Chain A
Amino acid sequence: MADRYSQLINTPIGKVISKQIGLPQPPPLERWEPGKPVISGPVLFGAAPGGRLARPVAQVLASIRAEIHTPMQEEIRSAVAAADTDAKVFNAEATPSEQRFKALVFDATGISSSEELRAAYEFFHPTIRRVRNSGRIVILATPPSSCRNPRQALAQRALEGLTRSLGKEVKRGATAQLVYVAPKAESLIESTLRFLLSPKSAYVSGQVVRIAPPKSPLDAGVVDWESPLEGKIALVTGASRGIGRAIAQTLARDGAHVVGLDIPSQADDLALVAAETGGSTLPMDITAADAPRQIVDHLEKQHGGVDVVVHNAGVTRDKTLGRMTEDQWDMVLEVNLGAEQRIDHELFERGVVNPNGRIICVSSISAIAGNAGQTNYATSKAGVIGMVEAYAPALSKSGQTVNAVAPGFIETQMTAAMPIGLREAGRRMNSMSQGGLPVDVAETIAWFASPGSAGVNGNVVRVCGQSLLGA
């Protein structure tokens, strides 16, 4: 699936030449396959003194059967012991340099002032060069808004800069993320840690994820991590090809019955997707006036409700604003934003979204960074972010969530049709020096969709390989 340049660079001779003339060197990214462990290599777990996440993190590491290494720090060792699992000892001064880690996990919640940020330096300084290919860096912190005082708030906010810079320094397909865990959300971190540590987050880097306790917490029961969506109904719009198809496949892999929706002209492709995912089809134009009612009728009658709604359908009609026709503006806004909003409205009005339900939108880095020739598209996709922000607090009250992914350069038919200059720029101008795959977006959506992700609400997570575009 790698693009031609990546294939060439990763030949022995290609490596030598590209290194000498300073071309970008896209590393092959590890991706998850069924049967693979969450993480295939040792995890180094450290913490700033006085943190509050050592126990929950240790429990997750035990649950994914990670090979844990920790510094000889009483707090962490006690937490690991309480999780009833073994952990090796790491001492930068004595551990040989060939000891390298698949992941560095750092609980930064104990940092309460700018001086104490030094704890992060001390943890990463001797370890950052010990990260393996496609390695993972995860920093856990307290949301600045939940901090007791400004001193602590600025220190916790400072970690964003650290994380993003680490993401750019690690190279070789490794990623870095910051997870803000609000007080009382400590028990809700497992789905997020599993996703961020695993190869499922191959093309997600430099992201800030927020986990907060739902206003009315639901008991989701024990999550079956092998098949988290077993028995769940998922509606995926634009499911006939590209990213939509990958979403349908991934949600079906996780156990969901996928109702694939696309415009009637795509009915044949849609039927193929339904066949390969064991799902059903709903050919429909979402911009039609009675589409929201028909969709909700279908979900109600056929399935008695819906658990996961993925608003993936989208179009582009690129033109600079001065040359753009009214139709081009209207169509993009209508498909990408208006129809979505009306469907959501109908879903909520009629209460067909099941408890612990998930609404997932597809935004874009164009919405965040802006893009010449995409005023219509960027407007619609920024509106999608607005929709997430607007609905999230209300959904939290009913134990549901709404989140968005913002894909960067993803290898699809749409990007294959781009002019070569733009295409190569899009591919290379990110920390991975390559485009992502539809499955990378789909895996991120599957993480939002998981019943274990009840604390992940109102997030916009970019799947962009830490693109230089946007923040």
Chain B
Amino acid sequence: MNQTVRRVAVLGGIRIPFARQDGPYSRASNQDMLTTTLDALADKFSLEGEAVGEVAAGAVLKHSRDFNLTRESVLGSKLAPETPAYDVQQACGTGLEATILVSNKIALGQIDVGIAGGVDTTSDAPIAINEDLREVLLEVNRSKSNAARLRALARLRPQQIVPEIPRNSEPRTGMSMGEHTAVMAQEWGITREEQDELAVSSHHKLAAAYDRGFEDDLVIPYLGLERDQNLRPDSSLEKLSKLRPVFGGSEGTMTAGNSTPLSDGASAVLLASEDWAREHGLPVLAYFTEAQTAAVDYVHKREGLLMAPAYAMPRMLGRAGLTLQDFDLYEIHEAFAAQVLCTLKAWEDPVYCRERLGLDAPLGSIDRDKLNVNGGSLGAGHPFGATGGRIVANLAKTLAERGSGRGVISICAAGGLGVTAIMEAANHG
């Protein structure tokens, strides 16, 4: 087996604008959106008819018919049908985890080029039939005689019409992610004002990125949408302060304004070895150099559901020999403003760093001016599977624009998961 490790180049990415639930994409399926995005990537990097090493992508909310979603999307795309593909699902960590998987294969020389991506629709969501009805129908199917079939059908009841609708809640706690985050916000004493400030800044930074043309080659129009539907360039503290809390009870601090809405969208990034990039005349925007996934026990040990990135970060930094302050850019997924603020406080807190993370000293604070410089999920929206690809493509381009430096990504996910990664500008000294 090959024991040498190659540098992994990020060549760029693309996505469709993110839409709000039941908005312009309400009739688009996961496959439609992922296929469109793969085509856009193929166009951008002249991959039409090319077989790439692999495509890894996934969706969180999936129909049972989408068992091979990514492969089916590849077959429908401009990529060569000989391109292998597989599905990845790690809740909101899907896109970044897919990037790690593809990167690792490139690093080990198992492939030279690959695509990582993700997609999600909360509008065209799968609705399952009632569990009782399903049992009856399965029984009918198993029956060998007409009499047996009739006996099974006799068990049909009117209430079995009520379908099973997917819920945005943790199976083991029954609490929604927002409710979990409200608990974290209370535990960390996060104020409403801090959260609203982060939300406003996210909208303003993303709007500025669009205005200066930064997003021009990162976002392609889709179904009449040219910019993210959720984006409010005129967002202000005053407007946000009028919203009522939606999580954490009447004294709660979390509103629809400082939480991400349910959204639809897709993204994809192109990763390759340096040799492949050179052979194809494609400039390297950044290198994907480190990654770490962690999980916390939010069920029994009462750790915050979305605190796993706090654990992943020091492990990754330790391996990379870096401190939290050694970065020029920080991309922290804004699932909820409170999640970002809890994570930052946790890294600053001597007690948490010692008791939970086992560190002698806190990781410390970061320069907030370097955080999500071109906007984050609060502005863009957050189609679960598509966020990782958005962030990787975004950071790669920002690093390339700077011409030097280092960026870090932190993404929290349902199930107490967290994914982090490090990227360095192509000519990082």
Contact = CB atoms under 8 A, between A and B. Distances in A.
Nearest to A89: B189
A297 B193 CA distance: 73
A180 B419 CA distance: 50
Interface residues of B, number: 20
Given A96-B251, A97-B251, A81 B354 contact: yes
Given A77-B351, A80-B350, A81-B355, A88 B187 contact: yes
Interface in A75-95: 77-78, 80-82, 84-91, 93-95
B186 interface: yes
B315 to A, nearest CB: 19
A74 interface: yes
A81 B251 contact: no
A91 B189 contact: yes
B190 interface: yes
A74 B253 contact: no
Given A72-B349, A81-B350, A94 B186 contact: yes
Contacts of B253: 94
B191 A96 contact: no
A343 to B, nearest CB: 51
Interface string A48-81: 0000000000000000000000111010011011
A85 B350 CA distance: 11
Given A81-B355, A88-B187, A74 B350 contact: yes
A93 B186 contact: no
A85 B355 CA distance: 7
Interface string B342-363: 0001001111011100000000
A94 B190 contact: yes
A436 to B, nearest CB: 38
A323 B349 CA distance: 70
A95 B190 CA distance: 8
Contacts of B191: 91, 93-94
A94 B349 CA distance: 17
A87 B249 contact: no
Contacts of A97: 251
B192 interface: yes
A430 B25 CA distance: 71
Given A72-B345, A96-B251, A80 B351 contact: yes
Contact of B189 (A72, A74, A85, A86): A72
Contacts of B189: 71-72, 89-91, 93-95
Contacts of A90: 189
Counting chain A residues whose Cβ lies within 8 A of the other chain, the interface size class is 20 to 34
A90 B187 CA distance: 8
Contacts of B355: 81, 84-86
A87 B351 contact: yes
Contact of B345 (A89, A93, A95, A96): A89
A95 B187 CA distance: 8
Contacts of A81: 350-351, 353-355
Nearest to B250: A96
Nearest to B342: A89
Contact of B185 (A85, A86, A94): A94
A426 B231 CA distance: 70
Contacts of B193: 93
Given A95-B186, A97-B251, A77 B192 contact: no
B188 interface: yes
Contacts of B187: 88-89
A91 B345 CA distance: 13
B186 A96 contact: yes
A86 B189 CA distance: 16
A294 B408 CA distance: 81
B183 to A, nearest CB: 11
Contacts of A84: 354-355
Contacts of B345: 72, 89
A78 B350 contact: yes
Given A89-B187, A89-B345, A96 B249 contact: yes
A151 to B, nearest CB: 31
Contacts of A72: 188-189, 345, 349
Nearest to A97: B251
B190 A91 contact: yes
A80 B354 CA distance: 10
Nearest to B346: A89
A95 B348 CA distance: 19
Interface in B42-68: none
Contacts of B348: 74
Interface string B185-205: 111111111000000000000
B186 A77 contact: no
Interface in A149-169: none
A236 to B, nearest CB: 44
Interface-centre pick from A72, A84, A89, A90 (highest chain B CB count, 10 A): A89
B349 A77 contact: yes
A251 to B, nearest CB: 38
Interface-centre pick from B186, B187, B189 (highest chain A CB count, 10 A): B189
A72 B251 CA distance: 20
A94 B192 contact: yes
A77 B350 contact: yes
A81 B253 CA distance: 28
Interface-centre pick from B186, B193, B351, B355 (highest chain A CB count, 10 A): B351
8 contacts: A78-B350, A82-B350, A85-B355, A89-B349, A94-B185, A94-B192, A96-B186, A96-B249
Interface of A: 70-72, 74, 77-78, 80-82, 84-91, 93-97
Given A78-B350, A94-B185, A94-B186, 4 more contacts: A72-B189, A77-B349, A89-B189, A96-B251
Top 10 nearest A-B pairs (CB, nearest first) are A91-B189, A81-B350, A81-B354, A78-B350, A94-B189, A89-B189, A77-B350, A86-B355, A93-B191, A81-B351
